[in-house]
């Protein structure tokens, strides 16, 4: 009798409510309703997110709009979202049918008071929902029609917090503001870099666009592929000018493989932050007075030491069996006569074995794996390791390297593309071939 009076844990109560609501939702087919009625129904809902998701369908458009426009939002934001969605429901738009754009439309609603044109005057001119979103953003916030394409593309690609606040940047530029005066930039821009930043390719995230502009300003766009293939495409710090001088060092050297830039940058980073060969870190390390042959030789020596250090560990508590939380990306197996596997490496010993076999420095990514910033995958053909892949937390494949840091061949690239497509992973254009300037 006492168990009947015992209060239920909150999670159990939510699960019970979700089951009750789900059974009721089976009798309520809101998907057949007109859009205006769906929006009214959406803003009549109230309750915990799991209960609402059970009622609407976890991955349905309406459930996504509830999560981003209503759940735990302030009244002012909910009212702006209601105004936006009710207006869109009266137009011939595909936006309200697509769960992928729910978060972007919630941001549009948040910035609606800063619009330069009235929402009622917008009409979609395409059946493609992502082009409709681009059109809507330009109509509301781009007064002069000159907001860079890569900024607008970030709305449709879900990169609204890509190193800076894309929505705020859109409003700033849409009012005629200069890029270099935007307060959210990670560092100052020269007029020349600003000019080229406006011309960066449409599909680039902010950091790629910035690297494009910096290299264009230095007349070094031929180095864009190697730069985007290195750590310079993943990190932006206070010593950014130093790393650009590393690119200058490579560009001035005759007959050097451009894709040695990535391994050299890894060696320099290790030398400046951790130390090499038992030496203390050298934060002021530079390439001044050094030769390219000397730098490549020391980089190669460091790589060999990493692959030969299976009996040594960076810290006392770390063993070869030490593991970490894997990234939620499935492994892959396939192929006909040729067995193909892409497997996530989950232990420190796995990283060392991979680096020893392919003669590169993947073992240096131990800390990134443990912190969840990156995951390392190994592509094997007929049980032979051929390519190492780095996938970042934003589900982008940022590195693909074979023996001695070679590029993937056509067969390996095809399997990487298939695996990426199966798991909705992004492959930058430069990764499997030279990047077009």
Count of domains forming the chain: 4
- Same domain assignment for residues 253 and 159: no
Confidence label for 435 from pLDDT (cuts 50, 70 and 90)? very low
Output the DSSP codes for 57-125. -TTSHHHHHHHHHTTT--HHHHHHHHHHHHHHHTSS-SGGG-GGGHHHHHHHHHTGGG-SS-GGG----
Q: Provide mean pLDDT across the span 215-242.
A: 91
Handedness of CA 70, 395, 258, 299 (dihedral sign): positive
- What's the domain range around 99? 9-127
Let me know if residue 98 belongs to a domain: yes
- Same domain assignment for residues 391 and 359: yes
How many DSSP H helices and E strands does the chain contain?
A: 19, 5
- Same domain assignment for residues 156 and 265: no
Rounded Cα distance, 145 and 372, in Å: 39
Surface-to-core class of residue 52, CB atoms within 10 Å of its CB (0-12 exposed, 13-18 middle, 19+ buried) = buried
More confident residue, 163 or 289: 289
- Same domain assignment for residues 76 and 122: yes
CB 346 within 8 A of CB 329: no
Rounded Cα distance, 210 and 212, in Å: 5
Q: Provide mean pLDDT across the span 350-376.
A: 83
Let me know if residue 167 belongs to a domain: yes
383-428: pLDDT as tens digits: 899 999 989 888 888 888 888 778 899 999 999 999 999 998 988 8
* φ and ψ at residue 354, rounded to 5 degrees: -65, -45
pLDDT exceeds cutoff 60 at 26: no
Let me know if residue 268 belongs to a domain: yes
- Same domain assignment for residues 76 and 167: no
> In terms of Cα–Cα distance, which of 137, 136, 275, 151 is closest to 201?
151
Name the DSSP letter for residue 376.
E
Domain stop point among 191, 217, 243: 217
Q: Provide mean pLDDT across the span 222-230.
A: 89
Rounded Cα distance, 290 and 184, in Å: 37
Task: Tell me what percent of the chain is helix, strand and coil, each rounded to the nearest 5.
Answer: 50, 10, 40
Pairing verdict, β 384-392 and 397-401: antiparallel
The residues that bridge with 201 in the sheet, in sequence order, are: none
Rounded Cα distance, 96 and 53, in Å: 17
Confidence label for 1 from pLDDT (cuts 50, 70 and 90)? very low
Q: How many CA atoms lie within 13 A of 302 on its CB side?
A: 25
Let me know if residue 390 belongs to a domain: yes
CB 133 within 8 A of CB 102: no
How far apart, in Å, are the Cα atoms of 425 and each of 81, 184, 436? 30, 28, 21
CB 180 within 8 A of CB 189: yes
Any idea of the CA torsion for 169, 163, 99, 102, to the nearest 10 degrees? -40
Confidence label for 10 from pLDDT (cuts 50, 70 and 90)? low
- pLDDT at position 21: 57
Let me know if residue 382 belongs to a domain: yes
Output the DSSP codes for 1-60. -HHHHSPPPHHHHHHHHHHHHHHHHTT--GGGS-HHHHHHHHTT--S-HHHHHHHH-TTS
- Same domain assignment for residues 154 and 205: yes
Let me know if residue 135 belongs to a domain: no
CB 380 within 8 A of CB 411: no
- Same domain assignment for residues 284 and 355: no
**How many other C-beta atoms can be found within 10 angstroms of the C-beta atom of residue 103?**
17
- Same domain assignment for residues 121 and 37: yes
- pLDDT at position 22: 54
What count of residues does the chain have? Answer: 437
- Same domain assignment for residues 15 and 108: yes
- What SS3 class is residue 378? strand
Domain stop point among 167, 186, 217: 217
- Same domain assignment for residues 27 and 121: yes
Confidence label for 267 from pLDDT (cuts 50, 70 and 90)? very high
Let me know if residue 396 belongs to a domain: yes
- Same domain assignment for residues 296 and 210: no
Let me know if residue 75 belongs to a domain: yes
Domain stop point among 307, 323, 358: 307
How large is the greatest C-alpha to C-alpha distance in the chain, in angstroms? 86
> In terms of Cα–Cα distance, which of 408, 301, 304, 413 is closest to 363?
304
Rounded Cα distance, 256 and 273, in Å: 26
pLDDT over 70 for what percent of the chain? Answer: 89
**Residue found by looking up tokens 């001088």 in the block:** 245
> In terms of Cα–Cα distance, which of 65, 25, 28 is closest to 49?
65
pTM score:
0.75
In the chain, the N- to C-terminal Cα span, in Å, equals 75
pLDDT exceeds cutoff 50 at 140: yes
pLDDT exceeds cutoff 90 at 49: no
Handedness of CA 29, 89, 124, 421 (dihedral sign): negative
pLDDT exceeds cutoff 90 at 379: yes
387: left (phi over 0), alpha (psi -120 to 50) or beta: beta
């Amino acid at each position: 009798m006492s168990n009947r009076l015992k209060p239920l844990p909150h999670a159990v109560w939510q699960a019970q409510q979700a089951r009750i609501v789900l059974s009721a939702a089976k009798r309520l087919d809101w998907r057949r309703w007109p859009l205006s009625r769906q929006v009214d129904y959406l803003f009549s809902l109230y309750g915990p997110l799991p209960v609402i998701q059970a009622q609407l369908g976890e991955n349905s458009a309406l459930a996504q709009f509830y999560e981003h426009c209503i759940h735990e939002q302030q009244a002012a934001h909910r009212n702006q979202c209601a105004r936006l969605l009710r207006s869109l429901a009266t137009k011939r738009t595909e936006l309200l049918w697509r769960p992928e754009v729910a978060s972007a439309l919630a941001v549009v609603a948040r910035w609606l008071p800063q619009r330069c044109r009235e929402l009622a005057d917008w009409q979609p001119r395409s059946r493609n929902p992502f082009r409709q979103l681009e059109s809507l953003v330009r109509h509301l916030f781009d007064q002069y029609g000159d907001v860079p394409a890569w900024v607008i593309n970030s709305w449709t690609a879900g990169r609204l917090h890509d190193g800076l606040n894309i929505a705020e940047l859109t409003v700033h530029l849409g009012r005629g503001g200069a890029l270099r005066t935007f307060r959210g930039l990670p560092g100052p821009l020269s007029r020349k870099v600003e000019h080229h930043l406006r011309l960066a390719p449409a599909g680039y995230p902010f950091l790629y666009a910035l690297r494009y502009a910096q290299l264009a300003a230095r007349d070094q766009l031929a180095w864009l592929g190697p730069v985007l293939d290195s750590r310079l495409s993943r990190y932006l710090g206070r010593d950014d000018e130093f790393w650009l001088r590393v690119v200058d060092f490579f560009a001035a050297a005759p007959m050097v493989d451009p894709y040695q830039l990535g391994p050299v940058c890894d060696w320099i980073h290790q030398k400046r932050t951790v130390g090499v060969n038992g030496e203390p870190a050298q934060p002021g390390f530079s390439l001044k007075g050094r030769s390219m042959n000397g730098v490549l030789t020391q980089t190669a020596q460091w790589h060999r030491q990493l692959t030969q250090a299976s009996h040594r560990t960076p810290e006392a508590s770390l063993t070869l069996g030490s593991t970490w939380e894997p990234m939620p990306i499935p492994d892959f197996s396939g192929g006909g006569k040729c067995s193909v596997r892409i497997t996530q490496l989950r232990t420190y010993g796995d990283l060392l074995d991979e680096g020893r076999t392919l003669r590169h420095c993947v073992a240096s990514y131990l800390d990134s794996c443990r912190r969840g910033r990156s995951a390392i995958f190994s592509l094997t053909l007929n049980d032979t390791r051929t390519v190492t892949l780095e996938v970042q937390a934003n589900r982008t494949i940022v590195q693909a390297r074979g023996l001695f840091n070679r590029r993937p061949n056509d067969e390996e690239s095809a399997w990487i593309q298939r695996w990426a497509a199966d798991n909705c992973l992004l492959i930058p254009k430069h990764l499997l071939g030279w990047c077009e300037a």
